[in-house]
Structure 1
């Protein structure tokens, strides 16, 4: 990768500096406590893992039309990214990084890239437009696929209150009007639907680095 391929962790560190100053110590402490509690609880025991099979799933595209996940991913498989929503700055930062650094590599190898969240198709379209994304972004209404994969969570009550202080609520963006969201997760899936790599992040401020995804891809 080029010298300008800044890792996600460095981009997050830069963002956090400004974000913490912007929201102040009270809200910063709320989010820090939530992140610490998530890390302490750890990855759910039944979370998707390498060796599992990707379930069949019918999702919605940004126009609200049904799409089979296997069709969106393509014959050779590729990378599936679960993110919380376009309201999440860490998600936006990550998807933009994947657009810049991961997508060209996947295209060179004939592999797909699909990002999935529980938000409405309209909100998914917002993520595409604001991020300048040139890969498939889909909606998982009611987190049906996320539930099957064992990666469902929701913001803590104190975090939901902090979100309100910041002027938004997760339920307003979700297709089912709940606060349910996935743990940020990256899967590498082969052409048969088998999961060959799974990385579940309970701390939503950390994400799967492009270098780790590329290392997990099948040989071209």
Structure 2
């Protein structure tokens, strides 16, 4: 069966949600729904506001190259997209969609960096699997996600649900904190000011790459 043609990332994510629902038990899908609602209620940080200065950081990418945000923003606008990991189908689709637009992002004088808590080995595997030409940065223990007010700990009862699906965050992230970032996309200008912020506790929701392009065009 041919893959449907999607007009947007949002359409593809919604289609994927329907596919996943057919594969999982009702108990598991209900658990994920509850986890989203609990996170909406308990997550008070709400990320960083538009107009604030993006916290500086230094991280290694999937091949060990060191990236310092302060050294990159002076070159032009920067797009930071925080994602959960290679085990998340929504994250894979999001980064694939960004790969389709990366040449346009570059042509606008901007750079794109994807950030997750997973280990360098899993980041490299994800980069190769999806043919990504932009850096995938390794945020051990979600320290940078914490600076951006995105870090949260998965409750113990949801950890068990993840394990039933062979998603062991200790394995993927090489730490036992069981923390994740809220999926988020920030667009920074060349002064490091946050000019756009998209974040949603519902991991099935992501910013459209075409919307990122529209904002970048206002900054160049």
- What TM-score does the superposition give when structure 1 sets the normalisation length? 0.89
Q: Distance in 2 between matches of 1:192 and 1:116?
A: 20
The number of residues matched between the two structures is: 215
**Pair 1:211–1:66, CA change in 2 (3 A):** closer
**Pair 1:60–1:175, CA change in 2 (3 A):** farther
Q: How does 1:10-159 map to 2 (within 5 A)?
A: 10-41=11-42, 44-45=44-45, 47-71=47-71, 75-100=75-100, 102-159=101-158
- For the aligned residue pairs, the C-alpha RMSD in angstroms reads 1.9
Q: Distance in 2 between matches of 1:88 and 1:136?
A: 18
- How far does residue 72 in structure 1 lie from its aligned partner after superposition? 5.1
- Structure 2 counterpart SS, 1:80: strand
Q: How does 1:177-192 map to 2 (within 5 A)?
A: 177-192=176-191
**Pair 1:128–1:69, CA change in 2 (3 A):** same
**Pair 1:119–1:72, CA change in 2 (3 A):** farther
- How far does residue 67 in structure 1 lie from its aligned partner after superposition? 2.5
1:24-69, Cα deviation, whole Å (9 max, x unpaired): 2111111111122223446x34621111112221101113343213
- Structure 2 counterpart SS, 1:49: coil
Q: How does 1:162-201 map to 2 (within 5 A)?
A: 162-201=161-200
Q: Distance in 1 between matches of 2:145 and 2:50?
A: 16
- Structure 2 counterpart SS, 1:54: coil
- How far does residue 175 in structure 1 lie from its aligned partner after superposition? 3.9
- How far does residue 136 in structure 1 lie from its aligned partner after superposition? 1.0
- Structure 1 counterpart SS, 2:52: coil
Structure 2 regions of 5+ residues with no counterpart? none
Structure 1 regions of 5+ residues with no counterpart? none
- How far does residue 19 in structure 1 lie from its aligned partner after superposition? 0.9
